[in-house]
């Protein structure tokens, strides 16, 4: 954290601004110095030229009399006087034929350093108007260079001082700006790294930096809230996952328990039914003998009535026990179907013969609708008879006197064989139908029923149909009647050609 802070301030905007401003000041000063130096030099030079021009002509004119008088000594003396003064470093006088008459050269005179001097000339004319000679003056420009360099040095020094002052001012000024900025930037970096408890400096004042700091604080608070929400979400998730795992385990245990309980129940039923059947058979057998009076009359007519009751109750019990035994076998998957060819017309005919007395007793009419060419079925005739008996006995039980029962069988378009038992009896509600299919449940309450039952018949029929790979459907309307349809799968249908 510490080294980051230094690095941040080190490459700061402040330094960049200082360097930029400083470079600009230096550049501008240099340019200014160069320009003003050039101008200064030009001005000095032109001044020197004008001055020297005047000097040459005025001084030249003073030589016209001595030249006219051939007083060359005087000319020489005057030249020596002149050369002593000012920037003149050499002087020569020629006559009109080009012969040198007088010459003064200082030790500064160097004809090779052409850049360091200027040469001026003047034709000397006598009062008579006759050309008597020519004056040449060599004037040094060193003075000018010296002046210019001095001015440049002065300008450069001024610029240098200016640059230093500028640098200091800019440094201090920018520091005032970049200080808060770099503090906010430091906080921003720390918050960016995830240290959301970082305090944001420079807040609550005027200006851009403060506004930035305020925004950063908002961001920090928002991030804090998001982080907290995420944490809570994770916690809730973990809790939920744990609950799901627990519930799954509970459900699995419950399922295992249910499977085990069901298995125990089936086993119990099977054992019980088997153990009950033996004594019941004895009760039935002996009551049958007594009822028939095989060894002589019972005597009192009440005994005959009792024996009748004993036999009737025994029959009900044995059929209940047989149903129970069948159900437990089917549910345990232990029921073995006998696979044989079953002729539907014969099957129905036999079933109707068994129920005929009951139908008559209930004053019902009965009709069958079975096509002569209906295919045979591969099935278990004992089980199929049991199904038919159940359906028929229900119709007899739940159809009031004068009612009608229809037994039909047909093949549908797909070739499946359907069998149905329909009546116009008391019917069932929708819930009644669902109840009727469950074991031990009945669609009507006890008062509505005139007959006793165990509630096992339809459940057993449904289970048998599943064993056949077929299905059982109940279509019923309260007060109108009931139709129960069983459907056998295609693989159980035997074409007439083969069965005929």
Ligand X SMILES: Nc1ncnc2c1ncn2[C@@H]1O[C@H](COP(=O)(O)OP(=O)(O)O)[C@@H](O)[C@H]1O
Instruction: Name the one range near Mg ion by CB under 5 A: 179-187, 289-297, 336-344, 393-401.
Output: 393-401
425 binds, among ligand X, Mg ion, none (CB under 5 to 8 A by kind): ligand X
Which is closer to ligand X, CB of 425 or CB of 470?
Answer: 425
Nearest alpha-carbon partner for 350 in 382, 304, 317, 324? 382
The answer to whether the beta carbons of residues 126 and 68 sit under 8 Å apart is yes
* Secondary structure (DSSP) of 43-81: HHHHHHHHHHHHHHHHHHHHTHHHHHTT-HHHHHHHHHH
Among 425, 486, 493, 494, binds ligand X (CB under 6 A): 425
Residue whose token pair is 């010296």: 146
Residue whose token pair is 């001595």: 66
CB of 401 to ligand X, least distance (A): 15
CB of 329 to Mg ion, least distance (A): 19
d(CA 120, CA 92): 11
The beta-strand segments (E) located in 70-114 are 88-95, 100-105
Instruction: Name the one range near ligand X by CB under 6 A: 183-191, 220-228, 378-386, 394-402.
Output: 394-402
CB of 267 to ligand X, least distance (A): 23
Which is closer to Mg ion, CB of 338 or CB of 445?
Answer: 445
CB of 443 to ligand X, least distance (A): 3
The answer to whether the beta carbons of residues 126 and 132 sit under 8 Å apart is yes
Among 182, 394, 424, 463, binds ligand X (CB under 6 A): 394
d(CA 492, CA 500): 16
Q: How many residues bind ligand X (CB under 6 A)?
A: 21
Cα–Cα distance list, 304 to 136, 281, 288, 403 (Å): 186, 19, 11, 33
Looking only at residues 456 through 475 of this chain, which bind Mg ion when binding is defined by CB under 5 A?
457
Nearest alpha-carbon partner for 269 in 324, 215, 201? 324
Instruction: Give the per-residue contact string, 454-483, with ligand X (x = CB under 6 A; - = no).
Output: xxxxxx----------------------x-
Instruction: Give the per-residue contact string, 418-457, with Mg ion (x = CB under 5 A; - = no).
Output: ---------------------------------------x
d(CA 199, CA 345): 97
Residue 328 engages ligand X in binding (rule: CB under 6 A): no
The answer to whether the beta carbons of residues 184 and 212 sit under 8 Å apart is yes
d(CA 292, CA 112): 175
d(CA 51, CA 141): 12
CB of 411 to ligand X, least distance (A): 24
d(CA 292, CA 287): 8
Among 120, 138, 398, 468, binds ligand X (CB under 6 A): 398
486 binds, among Mg ion, ligand X, none (CB under 5 to 8 A by kind): none
Among 9, 141, 266, 394, binds Mg ion (CB under 5 A): 394
CB of 444 to ligand X, least distance (A): 4
Q: Which residues bind ligand X (CB under 6 A)?
A: 390, 394-395, 398, 423, 425-428, 436, 442-444, 453-459, 482
Q: Which residues bind Mg ion (CB under 5 A)?
A: 394, 457
């Amino acid at each position: 954290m510490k080294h980051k802070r230094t690095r941040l301030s080190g490459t700061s905007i402040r330094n960049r601004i200082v360097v930029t401003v400083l470079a600009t000041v230096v550049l501008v000063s240099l340019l200014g110095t160069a320009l003003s130096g050039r101008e200064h030099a030009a001005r000095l030079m032109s001044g020197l030229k004008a001055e020297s021009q005047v000097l040459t002509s005025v001084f030249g004119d003073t030589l016209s009399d001595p030249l006219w008088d051939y007083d060359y000594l005087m000319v020489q003396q005057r030249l020596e006087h002149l050369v002593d003064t000012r920037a003149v470093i050499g002087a020569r006088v020629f006559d009109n034929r080009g012969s040198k008459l007088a010459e003064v050269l200082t030790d500064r005179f160097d004809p090779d350093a052409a850049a360091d001097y200027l040469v001026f000339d003047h034709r000397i004319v006598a009062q008579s108007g006759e050309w008597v000679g020519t004056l040449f003056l060599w004037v040094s420009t060193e003075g000018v260079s010296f002046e210019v360099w001095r001015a440049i040095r002065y300008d450069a020094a001024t610029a240098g001082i200016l640059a230093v002052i500028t640098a200091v001012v800019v440094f201090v000024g920018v520091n005032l700006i970049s200080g808060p900025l770099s503090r906010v930037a430091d906080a921003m970096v720390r918050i960016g790294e995830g240290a959301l408890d970082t305090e944001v400096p420079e807040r609550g004042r005027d200006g851009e930096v403060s506004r930035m700091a305020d925004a950063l604080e908002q961001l920090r608070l928002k991030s804090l809230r998001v982080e907290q929400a995420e944490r809570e979400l994770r916690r809730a998730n973990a809790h939920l996952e744990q609950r799901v795992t627990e519930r799954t385990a509970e459900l699995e245990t419950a399922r295992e328990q249910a499977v085990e309980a069901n298995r125990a129940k089936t086993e119990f039923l099977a054992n019980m039914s088997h153990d009950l059947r033996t004594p019941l058979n004895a009760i039935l057998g002996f009551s049958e003998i007594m009822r028939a009076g095989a060894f002589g009359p019972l005597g009192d007519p009440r005994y005959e009535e009792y024996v009748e009751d004993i036999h009737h109750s025994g029959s009900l019990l044995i059929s209940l026990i047989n149903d129970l035994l069948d159900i437990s076998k089917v549910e345990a998957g232990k029921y073995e179907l006998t696979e044989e060819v079953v002729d539907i017309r014969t099957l129905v005919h036999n079933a109707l013969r068994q129920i005929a007395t009951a139908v008559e007793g209930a004053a019902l009419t009965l009709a069958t609708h079975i096509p002569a060419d209906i295919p045979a079925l591969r099935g278990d005739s004992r089980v199929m008879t049991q199904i038919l008996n159940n359906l028929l006995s229900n119709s007899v039980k739940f159809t009031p006197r004068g009612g009608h029962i229809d037994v039909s069988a047909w093949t549908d378009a797909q070739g499946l064989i359907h069998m149905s038992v329909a009546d116009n009896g008391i019917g069932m509600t929708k819930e009644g139908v669902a109840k009727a299919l469950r074991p031990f449940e009945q669609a009507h309450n006890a008062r509505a029923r005139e007959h006793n039952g165990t509630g096992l018949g339809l459940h057993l029929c449904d289970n048998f149909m599943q064993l056949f790979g077929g299905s059982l459907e109940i279509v019923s309307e309260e007060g109108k009647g009931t139709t129960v349809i069983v459907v056998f799968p295609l693989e159980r249908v035997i074409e007439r050609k083969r069965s005929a």
